[in-house]
Amino acid sequence: MTEILYPSVSIIIPVYNGGTNFIACLESLKMLDPQPLEIIVVGDGDTDGSSEAARKEGLLVLRTPARQGPASARNLGAEKASGDILFFLDADVTVAAGAVRRVVETFRSDPGLSACFGSYDDAPADPGFLSQYRNLLHHYVHQKGNKHASTFWAGCGAIRREVFLALNGFNTNYKRPSIEDIELGYRLKKHGHRILLEKSLLVKHLKKWTLLSVLKTDLFNRALPWTRLIFSEGGFIDDLNLKIQGRLSVTCVFVLLITLVLSLVSTVFLAPAVFGSLLLGVLNRDLYLFFFRKRGALFTAGAVGWHWLYYFYCGLTFGVGLCEFGWRKIIRRWRKIEN
């Protein structure tokens, strides 16, 4: 006998050429116990047969006429969904058998809750260094984040359908995978909705990260649009990637670089360079100890280097966003004077 869930859950998965990772995602959905009310796959202009693979599994498949981005694809799935809860999943994750039950219990135990989201687990599928580093970093940040969250994550996130539709869903101005879920989280908070970071809600990430995909994602799909969002919303939130430790670490990295360059002129600058390195270690001690416990000393050494590089290019991107914001402000004032 099929278990009847309340509130009912609709799983929505946007996919663009998901390949073998998407097939693994579909296989994991078969193991869900209990099953959701429905699983909706939205083929976002895919050309590799991903939509057809989902259709063969008996799932409801929708298609966009061309690639429009996951924001539009998720919105299309939400419009057709019947469940009380919209449970969004990425096409490159596998879910645990109890994921739907975890979502239902979370909302049932808190009738005033509007949304919740989880994190990647601490056992990434791809064995490569960058894939391990990226996913373990994500896991750590989410597991250490505030339980009462200030944002949202659509890789494994659920929201009441009535709330989602009232806010007009994801912002479709994001035409590629970007910060459409973070922006939705900002709007949820602005309208007084509560979001929970459900740390026991875990998915396994299957993506293979490369140097090019890391830089492209961090710089153009995350850091720059997130900087624009920060300025448009009037400030930082002290949570997840924007915690004060992270912002101080960015400052330390630039102090370290500047003093190292100046030390070529005078050794007096070696002392502040050493101090900057030590402070970076102290600020991120718990993360680096987490890396060490999970993957050992050699991995941690590489991860620390990548983490400092991450702070460097995120700081540069923030500077670009700040200049862009200032320039636009000047232009607006100039136009007011002209009028």
Profile the chain (339 residues) by mean pLDDT over runs of 10 residues: 79 97 98 97 96 97 95 98 98 98 97 97 96 96 92 97 98 94 95 97 97 90 83 63 78 90 87 89 95 97 95 84 69 64
Residues 86 and 148 in one domain: yes
Q: Is residue 229 part of a domain?
A: no
Query: Residue 244 corresponds to which tokens in the numbers above?
Result: 């004060």
274 in the same domain as 178? no
Contact residues for 339 (Cβ-Cβ < 8 A; gap 6+): none
> Which of 194, 170, 172, 198 lies closest to 184 in space, CA to CA?
170
For 6-65, the pLDDT digits (tens) are 899 999 999 999 999 999 999 999 999 999 999 999 999 999 999 999 999 999 999 998
Beta-carbon contacts of residue 195 (< 8 Å; ≥ 6 apart): 113, 114, 115, 116, 117, 148, 149, 150, 151, 152, 185, 188, 189
Residues 126 and 267 in one domain: no
Do 25 and 139 fall within a single domain? yes
CATH code for the domain in which residue 62 is found: 3.90.550.10
Residue 148 maps to a domain: yes
Domain membership flag for residue 137: yes
- What is the per-residue pLDDT for 147? 93
Decide if 157 contacts 195 (C-beta within 8 A): no
Residues 68 and 188 reside in one and the same domain: yes
Same-domain pairing of 198 and 257:
no
Do 65 and 115 sit in the same domain of this protein? yes
DSSP letter at 302 equals H
Q: Which of 209, 225, 260 is the last residue of a domain?
A: 209
* Residue 29 included in any domain: yes
Q: What is the pLDDT of residue 230?
A: 80
Looking at the structure, do residues 49 and 150 belong to the same domain, yes or no? yes
Q: 280 is in which domain, residue-wise?
A: 240-338
- Give percent above pLDDT 70 in the chain: 92
Residue 38 and residue 152 in one domain: yes
> Cα–Cα distance between 185 and 69 in angstroms, integer?
18
Q: What is the DSSP letter of 23?
A: H
Indicate if 33 and 166 belong to the same structural domain: yes
* 225, part of any domain: no
The total number of structural domains that make up the chain: 2
Q: Three-class SS of residue 119?
A: strand
Query: Do the domain assignments include residue 121?
Result: yes
Same-domain pairing of 279 and 157? no
CA dihedral 137, 141, 142, 147 (to 10 degrees): 170
Contact 70, 14 (CB under 8 A): yes
| pLDDT given at position 1 | 47
- Residue 224 domain flag: no
Tell whether 75 and 154 lie within a shared domain.
Answer: yes
Q: Is residue 235 part of a domain?
A: no
The pLDDT of residue 335 is 63
